[in-house]
Amino acid sequence: MKLTEEQKKRIEEEYAEFEAEQYAGKTKEERQKLGQFYTPALLTIQMLEKFDSITKEDTILDPTCGAGGLLAAAIIAGADPKKVFGVELDANIVPIAKKRLAKLGVPDYNIHQGNALNRDCFVFPESEFEELHKGETYKFTDEGEIGKVDFIKKDGTKSITFGLRR
Minimum CB separation of residue 43 from ligand SAM in Å reads 8
**Residue selected from 84, 89, 101, 149 as contacting ligand SAM according to rule CB under 6 A:** 89
Minimum CB separation of residue 64 from ligand SAM in Å reads 3
* Calpha distance 79→57 (Å, rounded): 8
CB 60 within 8 A of CB 54: yes
Minimum CB separation of residue 86 from ligand SAM in Å reads 8
**Under rule CB under 6 A, which residues in 15-54 are in contact with ligand SAM?**
34-39
Residue type, 87: V
Report if residue 76 touches ligand SAM, rule: CB under 6 A.
Answer: no
Residues that bind ligand SAM (CB under 6 A): 34-39, 62, 64-66, 69-70, 87-90, 93, 115-117, 140-141, 162, 165
